[in-house]
Each structure stands twice: as structure tokens, then as C-alpha cells.
Amino acid sequence: MNIRTAGDDDWPGIWPVFDAVVREGETYAFPLDLTRESAKPWWMSEPPGETVVLEQDGALLGTAKMGPNRPGRGAHIGTASFMVSPTARGRGVGRRLGEHVVAWHRERDFAGIQFNAVVETNTPAVRLWQDLGFEIIGTVPDAFDSPTHGRVGLHVMFLPLG
């Protein structure tokens, strides 16, 4: 598996993964009417952030975006978002992307990484982030409307890096 910085020419390959994950409705609160064109700014980060893709044998298996959680006085804390192709789940793609994101933030001297909205019923992601050292520091009850589970909580998760 190879992780590399994504460029504009990667968006046509990222879009099917983005679209599938958003349409599932279990992990992201993105607008449901996004098109290939309108979704691109939601995912393709500009510096100081970065978007990456994970590929294997020429197939795009996952993508992540990362950067400062807030501008200005909050820029020392990072954040990230992840999407794994439905056909690649359970193959370690999320873990590889997560490890990459933690290393990316460490290399840039971020003080920590905050995930703002991890859906509590997304147990594979919650377990993975906890395995990588993140802690649930709070849960906003009923903040996410899952098509499968109804209203569920959103975890705020944090990993100190300093």
C-alpha cells in the first residue's frame, strides 16, 4: 500500500469513494445533494492542510485529509477526516491512513489532534482511534442522524502529541 499527496487529477478517483461513504449516511454529515464538482472543496485540502490517497496495485482504496483544526490561535491542534472504499474495508486501509496522519502532525509539531465528530456507532473507527492513542473526551448526545440507528452521539476524540 502506498500513501501519497493527492492532486487535482486524483479527484475523479476519490469522488466514487467520497460519494459512496456520504450516501451510506453512517459517518459524515455532509450535504446529501453534493455533486462531483460541489464536493471537491469539501475534501481537497489546501495548504497548510493536505489530502492524501492510499493506493494498492493502481487502485485507490482510501483517502484522508488533515491540517489545523482551527485557524489562528487554534492552529497548533490538528484534525483529520478519513474515507475507505467500501470494497477495501477490513484490509488495514484506515489504520495505515491513521498512522500516516499521526506522523504527519508530529512532523509538523502540532500539539495534538482533535477529531470533532466521530459517530459513536462507527465502532471500527472508534476502536481504531483508541488503538492509536486517542481518547473520547466528550460525546454530544443525539447529534448525528443515522439512517440505521436513528439519532446517535458524536464523540470528540483527542490525541496529545506534545
State the chain's mean pLDDT as an integer: 97
Under the banding of pLDDT at 50, 70 and 90, the label for residue 1 is confident
CA distance 155 to 120: 6
CA distance 127 to 40: 29
CATH number at residue 63: 3.40.630.30
SS3 41: helix
Quote the percentage of the chain above a pLDDT of 90.
98
Q: What is the pTM of this model?
A: 0.94
Q: How many folded domains does the chain comprise?
A: 1
15 contacts: CB under 8 Å, gap ≥ 6: 36, 39, 40
Query: What would the pLDDT profile of 8-67 be if each residue is shown by its tens digit?
Result: 999 999 999 999 999 999 999 999 899 999 999 999 999 999 999 999 999 999 999 999
First to last CA, the chain: 29
CA distance 105 to 4: 15
Q: For residue 29, what are the domain limits?
A: 2-160
